Amino acid sequence: MNDYLSDFASLFEQYDVFAAFWVNIQLTFFAAIGSMVIGSLIALMRISPVASLRLLGTGYVNLFRNTPLTIILVFLVLGVWSQLGLSLSGDFNRNFFNWAVVGLSLYHAAFVCEAIRSGVNTVPVGQAEAARAIGLSFVPAARLVIFPQALRGAITPLGNTLIALIKNSTVAAAASVSNEVSSLMKTMIEFRPDVMIAIFLVVAIGFVILVVPVGVLTTWASRKLAVKR
């Protein structure tokens, strides 16, 4: 038992586990911002009175929500970057990270859009009618009246999307991000199969530490900020 615990501790001496998790945290942070911005714009298109915009928004959601994330990341790295030569950084390795952020943002934006749209459905129709009655056009009405209330009603699905994003950040390995958790886990299993159970536990506990606080905070915020009807 003591020998196994010693081998377990040696994992942290031999491999920088914390640095790998930090990469996943950075991927999650930047992709969360990107997906929130893109998702909000797509949600605005989805509820727009303009039919062509609604069609484009619906097409985006159906395309990205039903396309595997791995395919999106591989397409961006091998197709857009390697074949078309569209670089996001002068640093070779940084390009993998940046394209992974783009792929995660585009993919999860579809889920953010639907989360916000579900929040819009909780806003009484009278709110939009009142906004139009005082002379607000669609965009100002959405920005000042509808979206602030919709976001309060969409906290739970947005929190669930963030949790999914945290876990899906491991798929960045498909974009050749070699210093994140799943890549490190593969390396550890390859060279340290004698402590395979410990490796799985380290990764699992690490993600539990990341995910559980988000779930708790989401539950608290959804109750605290819920719109009283």
At residue 68, the pLDDT reads 93
| Integer Cα distance of 154 and 46 in angstroms | 16
Summarised one tens digit per residue, pLDDT across range 33-65 is: 999 999 999 998 888 888 898 999 999 999 999
Report how far Cα 86 is from the mean position of its chain's Cα atoms. 23
| Integer Cα distance of 181 and 158 in angstroms | 24
| Integer Cα distance of 156 and 121 in angstroms | 14
Contacts for 74-77: CB closer than 8 Å, 24+ residues apart = 74/174, 74/175, 76/102, 76/103, 76/175, 77/174, 77/175, 77/176
Which domains does the chain carry? 22-178 (1.10.3720.10)
Summarised one tens digit per residue, pLDDT across range 141-166 is: 888 888 888 888 888 899 999 999 99
- 8 A C-beta contact, residue 129 and residue 58: no
| Integer Cα distance of 44 and 113 in angstroms | 8
- 8 A C-beta contact, residue 76 and residue 175: yes
Q: What is the residue-level pLDDT of the chain in tens, covering all 229 positions?
A: 566 667 677 777 778 888 889 999 999 999 999 999 999 999 988 888 888 989 999 999 999 999 999 999 989 888 887 777 777 776 777 888 889 999 999 999 999 999 998 888 877 777 777 878 887 777 788 888 888 888 888 888 999 999 999 999 998 887 778 788 888 888 888 888 877 888 888 889 899 999 999 999 998 888 877 665 5
| Integer Cα distance of 81 and 83 in angstroms | 6
Task: Write the Ramachandran bin of 136: left for phi over 0, alpha for psi from -120 to 50, otherwise beta.
Answer: beta
